Amino acid sequence: MSTQDLRARLEYYRDLGVKDLYRRSATAAQPALVVESAPEVVFAQPIAKKPVAVAPKPVPPPLPPPPAPRIEIPKVTEIQLPGMAPENDTLDRICSDIGDCTRCRLHLGRNKIVFGSGNPVSKLVFVGEGPGADEDEQGLPFVGRAGQLLTQMIEGTSAKEGIPIKRDDVYICNVVKCRPPDNRNPEPDEMEICGQFLFRQLSAIQPKAICALGSTAAKALLGGKDGVTKLRGKWHKWRDIPLIVTYHPSYLLRAYNQDAKREAWEDLKKVLHFVYD
Ligand code: SF4
Ligand code: URA
């Protein structure tokens, strides 16, 4: 190609916006890349002389395929899914498995994990939503205003109905063990992760009945989307354990809920008689 042709080609590249051209040195044994700015390229020498014939590298014979690895497939009964209840599970074991849990984002804002409290062999378990500020501070469930109402409900209804039980005779816990920031509802993934511990608690205790307080507990234990109004007043089941849904005590603390209060007392009477008669 003549110098004139090269110059025309170069201008064509420049019009296209190509600023740098790369040219291999024709003489070096180890060809080096030369970077040149387009406007300053001087095409004094032809680029290459004769192409050098390179002998093709010998291709090594293909390797024999590696022996297939022996994969031990465990029997279905031997697979331990995470979160699955170990045999002879106990509340102590669940508590120590929780440890200083960071399995969900709720650990970020918590002060204390609120595992649960009460009688570990109780025939009745109350399940709330998650710790509030007072619970987070003390590490105990239902110790704030809603908790005082729950205690009154349990002890007041039992006394009226001639059932000799106190709050300490039942077991109380929550769906999530760490306080959600600003008392927001737990997110579905938080309920799913921490719910594994709730399920283990219920399986270890094997109560005669469960009382789900509010729609978060109902959702965690029954699945589905129905709220308390739809679910309360009839029996459900968590696995094989009879379950009653009633209003959360925080909801009952709102003065405009006189009907809900009466209904909650009815629900409570029902479950207390079923368990203790
Ligand atoms: Fe762990 Fe439950 Fe607390 Fe989440 S809420 S960090 S899963 S203990
Ligand atoms: N509300 C809950 O759901 N749980 C508690 O422990 C306290 C308030």
Would you state the pLDDT for residue 85?
Answer: 77
Residue linked to tokens 């908790």: 147
Range of weakest confidence among 21-35, 74-88, 176-190: 21-35
Range of weakest confidence among 104-108, 169-173, 205-209, 256-260: 256-260
The Cα–Cα gap between 265 and 212 comes to 14
The Cα–Cα gap between 259 and 193 comes to 34
**Residue 271 neighbours by CB distance under 10 Å:** 22
Q: What is the pLDDT of residues 38-75, one digit of tens each?
A: 444 444 444 444 555 556 666 777 777 666 555 454 44
Which ligand 1 atom sits nearest the alpha carbon of residue 197?
A: 2
pLDDT band at 232 (very low <50, low <70, confident <90, very high): very high
The tokens describing 244, both together, are 């009653």
Ligand 1 pocket, mutate which of 97, 184, 193 (most atoms under 8 A from CB): 193
Ligand of minimum distance to the alpha carbon of 118: 2
Mean pLDDT score, 203-230: 98
Which ligand 2 atom sits nearest the alpha carbon of residue 141?
A: 6
Measure 110 CA to ligand 2 centroid, in angstroms. 14
Residues 6+ apart with CB under 8 A from 247: 213, 214, 228, 232, 257, 260, 261, 263, 264, 267
Q: pLDDT averaged over the chain?
A: 83
The CA-atom distances, in angstroms, between 58 and each of 41, 52, 128 are 39, 18, 74
Question: Is 249 within 8 Å of 150 (Cβ atoms)?
Answer: yes
Would you state the pLDDT for residue 170?
Answer: 99
Mean pLDDT score, 181-186: 98
The CA-atom distances, in angstroms, between 210 and each of 108, 158, 173, 266, 274 are 30, 16, 11, 15, 11
Mean pLDDT score, 102-106: 98
Would you state the pLDDT for residue 153?
Answer: 97
The Cα–Cα gap between 99 and 113 comes to 9
Measure 179 CA to ligand 1 centroid, in angstroms. 9
Would you state the pLDDT for residue 62?
Answer: 73
Q: What is the pLDDT of residues 156-166, one digit of tens each?
A: 999 999 999 99
The answer to whether residue 86 scores a pLDDT higher than 90 is: no
Q: What is the pLDDT of residues 118-156, one digit of tens each?
A: 999 999 999 999 999 999 999 999 999 999 999 999 999
Sheet holding 209-213, edge to edge: 117-118, 171-174, 124-128, 209-213, 241-246, 235-238
Name all domains of the chain by residue range, CATH numbers in brackets.
Answer: 91-276 (3.40.470.10)
212 lines ligand 1 (CB under 6 A): no
Would you state the pLDDT for residue 61?
Answer: 72
The Cα–Cα gap between 67 and 83 comes to 36
The Cα–Cα gap between 276 and 124 comes to 9
Residues 6+ apart with CB under 8 A from 23: 34, 36, 47
